């Protein structure tokens, strides 16, 4: 797992090329060294209006509040 969000997004983006569907699997451990990139990933997904999986918040409980979809109304 890259330690910054730009490298991670670049790597994931290379899975689907030339209009083909690509799949990526990322393994992450419940360690503090992954907390920053997970926070950045959650922030990026929310910014792009992509649903954040609930299990991501359970992996790092102090980030769980970022995984909850906020009401825009």
Segment 29-38, tens digit of pLDDT: 888 888 899 8
Q: What is the pLDDT of residue 70?
A: 58
Query: pLDDT grade, residue 20 (50/70/90)?
Result: confident
- b/e for 42-64, b at 16 or more Cβ within 10 A? beebbeeeeebeeebbebbeebe
Longest dimension (CA), the chain: 39
Q: Note the pTM of the prediction, 2 decimals.
A: 0.75
pLDDT at 28 > cutoff 70: yes
**Rounded Cα gap, residues 73 and 64, in angstroms:** 21
Angstrom distances, CA of residue 34 to CA of 1, 3, 5, 30: 9, 7, 11, 7
């Amino acid at each position: 797992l890259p330690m910054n969000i730009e490298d991670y997004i670049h790597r994931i983006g290379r899975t689907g090329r030339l209009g083909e569907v690509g799949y990526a699997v990322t393994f992450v451990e419940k360690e503090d060294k992954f907390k920053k990139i997970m926070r950045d990933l959650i922030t990026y997904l929310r910014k792009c209006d992509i649903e954040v999986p609930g299990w991501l918040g359970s992996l790092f409980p102090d980030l769980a509040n970022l995984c909850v979809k906020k009401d825009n109304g």
